[in-house]
């Protein structure tokens, strides 16, 4: 189930949506298909730009290095499944590793199946609704490491004995709210493999939680500005908590990136007029998602721990109340996994919006460090941050990882993507000097200096003419070619007046994966890598000729492993694919998806067998998060919001018919019975 499927669009700009641009692009390529199979099938070379004798450095050529390893996906694809258990290929195992509530130290008592664990337990145990994650190997080992796992949101029914409660005045009990706050954020979990079995090392000194209450530093253009001054941080240098941490990233210098996605909904603002940035992001005005602010003035409340979720101005200025509290959310947050004493840092230069994730581009010595990010909401944008500092390979192993983060992430330029129907695209800078679509105007004249642009990043992107997308979720970069892939999960609530007339995939109900390659001068070339669809759909919709072995919809998680295998995870519901199977993970080696002439292509009837279903999750869940050991023999993924699972430490076991368990999101580990590499 998609958590935010019913969220309306907050983009009121006239910028042409990607779906119409794509349809023009697609029909132009198909007009050519008649006699010119080569040009028509070429991914980056629409409209005859690619000639048969392209030079060797032609960007339409896939990079040979991944393909040269000649790896093959050797597992038998698993069929779709509607059972309440994880399904993996023959010869593989799937085991529960770190479910919600797993104690991380002695301050937490064991998880209780009646929901009665305390807020204090939750602050010292694995959080709820696991999402993005990363495995930080210890000493490069493949049997010892630290998992950093996002805990995106909560299920109040599972979290408490009787779900969320309120008193007759509508107030939430302080202890329930604290438990909910503590169930969000990030869990750092030391895991080890002994005798072939992974387990959590409870009470390890590296184990810890970052929650919606943990104090963090603000860095970059917003830090110290009036926009982020609050009664808690009168100089605007700190924030309390991180929220709705969805996808993740990691840096070349060994830190974890966690991304604040659907955070506006934890707030409420009852002011008559909302600040422009809050209107643009869709700040609730009638009811917050969980009602945390209703616990304010409880006798146990400390430092406005609940009152801060109500943004309505009350004091004489911003340092007297929490009108600016929301301006301390919406960022990429950097964590040093191995230094428990250092605070997490919000890197504000990467923009403020509903960040799905944050993914580094291909690193090149002497060139800037690049991060890609998407705003997961209907008709929102894709962004790229380019560091001011150039990459110094000596920084791969720095003494001070967060100082290195400051070097590459606090100064640089944020860009937003504009797509053209001829397969080209531009990165438009979001700087005060950047021209807007209005004649002779700039972002500086329209919005102000860099902090004002960051504060309302999406509005700045509207003004420069960025392309509204169909909900960008995860992105990832091919380690060999540097090509960027991003899931556009779906946009099935699109209003009719936003449709282009001759569009056979008008609502993009099934989603697709876009791919682009940087071509210098802030330009790129793009096309679709694969279209999601039901195998039964007509070929105007099932454009990648998907079959039972690989039909999927609503792609969300996306991760390249170092071998060049791309793993695709789904968060799907309410369509023909959902009738056939629960959410799933598929694998494909994109560098092998080529035309006979060796050009990169969209998956179609000639190549669809290269895309294979690897795993299916239990009922009602979403599959998300991806991490692997350096030797590729242990794969970690997350099962988020299952309905009635897990039943056993063996993740492939369903509860016996009719019996109910309290559902627990969990990290699971997948291994091969012969201890071989996953997938090949």
Site residues for Ca ion per CB under 5 A: 2-3, 473, 556, 571
Nearer to ligand FEO, 152 or 561 (CB): 152
Q: How far apart are CA 255 and CA 245, in angstroms?
A: 16
446 binds, among Ca ion, ligand FEO, none (CB under 5 to 8 A by kind): none
Smallest distance from the beta carbon of 473 to ligand FEO, in angstroms? 5
Q: How far apart are CA 277 and CA 355, in angstroms?
A: 15
452 binds, among Ca ion, ligand FEO, none (CB under 5 to 8 A by kind): none
Smallest distance from the beta carbon of 356 to Ca ion, in angstroms? 6
Smallest distance from the beta carbon of 340 to Ca ion, in angstroms? 28
Query: Torsions phi, psi of 218, nearest 5?
Result: -100, 135
Nearer to Ca ion, 129 or 208 (CB): 129
Site for ligand FEO in 191-210 (CB under 6 A): none
Nearer to Ca ion, 597 or 620 (CB): 620
Binding residue for ligand FEO (CB under 6 A) from 84, 376, 462, 478? 376
261 binds, among Ca ion, ligand FEO, none (CB under 5 to 8 A by kind): ligand FEO
Q: 429: part of which helix (H) or strand (E)?
A: strand 424-429
255: its two tokens: 């830190």
568 binds ligand FEO (CB under 6 A): no
84 binds ligand FEO (CB under 6 A): no
Smallest distance from the beta carbon of 246 to ligand FEO, in angstroms? 3
Total binding residues toward ligand FEO, as defined by CB under 6 A: 6
Smallest distance from the beta carbon of 375 to ligand FEO, in angstroms? 9
Q: Is 535 helix (H, G, I), strand (E, B) or coil?
A: coil
Smallest distance from the beta carbon of 266 to Ca ion, in angstroms? 16
Q: How far apart are CA 183 and CA 179, in angstroms?
A: 6
- What DSSP character marks residue 499? S
Site for ligand FEO in 147-176 (CB under 6 A): 152
Nearer to ligand FEO, 50 or 259 (CB): 259
Q: How far apart are CA 589 and CA 66, in angstroms?
A: 8
Mark residues 438-477: x for contact with ligand FEO by CB under 6 A, - for none: -----------------------------------x----
Spell out the SS3 assignment of 361-425. Answer: CCCCCCCEEEEEEEECCEEECEEEEEEEEECCHHHHCCCCHHHHHHHHHCCEEEEEEEECCCCEE
Smallest distance from the beta carbon of 524 to ligand FEO, in angstroms? 23
- Residue 287: is it exposed, middle or buried by C-beta count within 10 angstroms (0-12/13-18/19+)? exposed
Mark residues 8-37: x for contact with ligand FEO by CB under 6 A, - for none: ------------------------------
Smallest distance from the beta carbon of 620 to Ca ion, in angstroms? 12
Nearer to ligand FEO, 336 or 509 (CB): 509
Residues with Cβ < 8 Å from 571, sequence gap 6 or more?
1, 2, 473, 489, 554, 556, 557, 583, 622, 623, 624
Q: 200: part of which helix (H) or strand (E)?
A: strand 197-200
Nearer to ligand FEO, 246 or 628 (CB): 246
Residues with Cβ < 8 Å from 472, sequence gap 6 or more?
356, 374, 375, 376, 380, 381, 382, 486, 487, 488, 489
Radius of gyration (C-alpha) of the chain in whole angstroms: 24
Nearer to ligand FEO, 121 or 473 (CB): 473
Q: How far apart are CA 527 and CA 412, in angstroms?
A: 27
Nearer to ligand FEO, 515 or 641 (CB): 641
Smallest distance from the beta carbon of 83 to ligand FEO, in angstroms? 25
Residues with Cβ < 8 Å from 651, sequence gap 6 or more?
85, 86, 94, 95, 96, 639, 666, 668
The Cβ-side half-sphere exposure at 661, using a 13 Å CA radius, reads: 19
Nearer to ligand FEO, 88 or 559 (CB): 559
265 binds ligand FEO (CB under 6 A): no
Nearer to Ca ion, 462 or 556 (CB): 556
Nearer to ligand FEO, 321 or 380 (CB): 380
207: its two tokens: 């184990």
Smallest distance from the beta carbon of 154 to ligand FEO, in angstroms? 13
Q: Which residue lies nearest Ca ion, judged by its C-beta?
A: 571
Site for ligand FEO in 244-263 (CB under 6 A): 246, 261
Cβ atoms of 156 and 146 within 8 Å: the answer is: no
492 binds ligand FEO (CB under 6 A): no
End-to-end CA distance of the chain: 30
Mark residues 113-152: x for contact with ligand FEO by CB under 6 A, - for none: ---------------------------------------x
- Using the CB atoms, write b or e for 213-222: b if 16+ within 10 Å: bbebbbbbbb
In the complex, the residues that contact ligand FEO under the rule CB under 6 A are: 152, 246, 261, 356, 376, 473
């Amino acid at each position: 189930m998609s958590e935010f499927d019913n969220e309306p669009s907050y983009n009121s700009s006239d910028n042409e949506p990607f779906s119409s641009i794509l349809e023009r692009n697609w029909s132009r390529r198909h007009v050519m298909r008649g006699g010119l199979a080569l040009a028509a099938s070429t991914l980056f070379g629409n409209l005859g730009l690619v000639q048969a004798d392209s030079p060797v450095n032609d960007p339409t050529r896939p990079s040979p290095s991944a393909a040269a390893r000649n790896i093959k996906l050797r597992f038998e694809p698993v069929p779709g499944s509607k059972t309440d258990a994880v399904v993996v290929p023959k010869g593989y195992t799937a085991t529960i590793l770190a479910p919600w509530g797993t104690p991380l130290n002695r301050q937490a008592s064991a998880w209780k199946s009646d929901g009665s664990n305390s807020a204090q337990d939750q602050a010292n145990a694995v959080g709820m609704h696991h999402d993005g994650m990363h495995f930080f190997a210890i000493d490069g080992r493949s049997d010892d490491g630290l998992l950093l796992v996002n805990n995106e949101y909560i299920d109040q029914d599972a979290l408490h004995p009787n779900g969320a409660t309120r008193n007759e005045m509508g107030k939430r009990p302080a202890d329930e709210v604290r438990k909910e706050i503590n169930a969000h954020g990030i869990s750092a979990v030391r895991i080890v493999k002994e005798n072939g079995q992974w387990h959590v090392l409870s009470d390890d000194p590296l184990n810890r939680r970052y929650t919606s209450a943990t104090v963090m530093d603000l860095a970059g253009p917003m830090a110290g500005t009036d926009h982020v001054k609050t009664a808690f941080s009168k100089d605007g240098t700190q924030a309390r908590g991180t929220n709705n941490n969805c996808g993740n990233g990691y840096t070349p210098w060994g830190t974890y990136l966690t991304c604040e996605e659907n955070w506006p909904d934890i707030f409420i603002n009852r002011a008559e007029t909302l600040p422009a940035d809050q209107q643009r992001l869709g700040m609730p005005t009638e009811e917050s998602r969980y009602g945390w602010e209703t616990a304010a003035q409880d006798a146990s409340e400390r430092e406005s721990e609940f009152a801060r979720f109500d943004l309505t101005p009350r004091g004489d200025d911003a340092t007297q109340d929490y009108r600016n509290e929301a301006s301390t959310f919406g960022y990429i947050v950097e964590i040093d996994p191995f230094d428990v004493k250092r605070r997490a840092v919000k890197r504000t230069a990467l923009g403020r919006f509903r960040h799905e994730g944050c993914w580094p581009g291909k690193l090149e010595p002497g060139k800037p460090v690049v991060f890609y990010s998407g705003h997961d909401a209907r008709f929102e944008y894709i962004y790229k941050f380019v560091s001011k500092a150039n990459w110094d390979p000596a920084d791969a192993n720095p003494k001070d990882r967060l100082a290195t983060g400051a070097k590459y992430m606090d100064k640089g330029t944020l860009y937003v993507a504009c797509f053209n129907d001829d397969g080209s695209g531009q990165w438009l800078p979001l700087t005060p000097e950047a021209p807007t679509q209005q004649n002779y105007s700039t972002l500086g004249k329209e919005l102000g200096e860099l902090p004002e642009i960051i504060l309302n990043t999406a509005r700045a992107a509207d003004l420069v003419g960025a392309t509204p997308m169909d909900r960008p979720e995860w992105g990832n970069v091919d380690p060999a070619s540097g090509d960027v892939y991003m899931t556009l999960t779906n946009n099935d609530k699109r209003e009719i007046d936003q449709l282009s007339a001759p569009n056979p995939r008008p609502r993009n109900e099934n989603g697709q994966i876009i791919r682009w390659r940087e071509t210098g001068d802030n330009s790129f070339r793009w096309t679709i890598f694969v279209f999601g669809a039901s195998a039964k759909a007509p070929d105007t919709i099932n454009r990648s000729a998907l079959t039972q072995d690989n039909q999927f919809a609503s792609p969300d998680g996306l991760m390249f492993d170092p071998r060049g295998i791309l793993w695709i995870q789904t968060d799907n519901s309410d369509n023909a694919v959902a009738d056939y199977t629960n959410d799933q993970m598929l694998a494909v080696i994109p560098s092998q998806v080529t035309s006979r002439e060796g050009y990169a292509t969209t998956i179609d009837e000639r190549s669809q067998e290269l895309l294979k279903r690897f795993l299916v999750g239990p009922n009602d869940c979403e599959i998300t998060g991806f991490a692997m050991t350096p030797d590729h023999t242990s794969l970690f993924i997350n099962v988020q919001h299952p309905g009635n699972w897990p039943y056993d430490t063996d993740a492939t076991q369903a509860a016996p018919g009719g019996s109910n368990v309290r559902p627990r999101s969990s990290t699971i580990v997948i291994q091969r019975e012969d201890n071989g590499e996953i997938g090949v």
